[in-house]
Amino acid sequence: MTDEKSLEGWAPEIPDAATLAEVVDRAFDYRGDVTVMLDDGRELVGYLFNRTRDVAEPFVQMFERENAGPSRVPYARIRAIRFTGRDTAAGNSYAAWLRSREAAKAASSSPGA
């Protein structure tokens, strides 16, 4: 996945622990809310701000929209993660900024500008 593509709206299948770890890493890097579906059918919506993989029971932490404090969710309880919130960083990569800067420079140096 490149800097230019947003994960907004992505709802990946999670068939195994390796895939779950990859999706959790992407959810951690995502700058929007995610929906975490749990093994009991509940859905937690919020911002995933931490993940800890290298412990006996790996877990994520998130600020839920409906809760005052952070929640801790073991990987073993996660059945799916959907990227449901608006990606606040979409299009704000350094590459996008550089292209915009170059375009503005070209426009200001063209004749008649």
Residue 50 lies in a domain: yes
25 belongs to a structural domain: yes
The arithmetic mean of pLDDT across residues 55-60, rounded, is 96
Task: With H, G, I as helix, E, B as strand and everything else as coil, classify residue 109.
Answer: helix
2 inside domain:
no
Q: Which domain holds residue 34?
A: 17-109
Q: What is the mean pLDDT of the chain?
A: 85
What is the per-residue pLDDT for 18?
84
Domain count, the chain: 1
Question: Which is higher by pLDDT, 64 or 68?
Answer: 64
List the CATH number of the domain containing 73: 2.30.30.100
- Write the single-letter amino acid at 46: G
CB-based contacts of 8, cutoff 8 Å, min separation 6:
32, 83, 85, 86, 87, 90
| 35 contacts 84 by C-beta, under 8 angstroms | yes
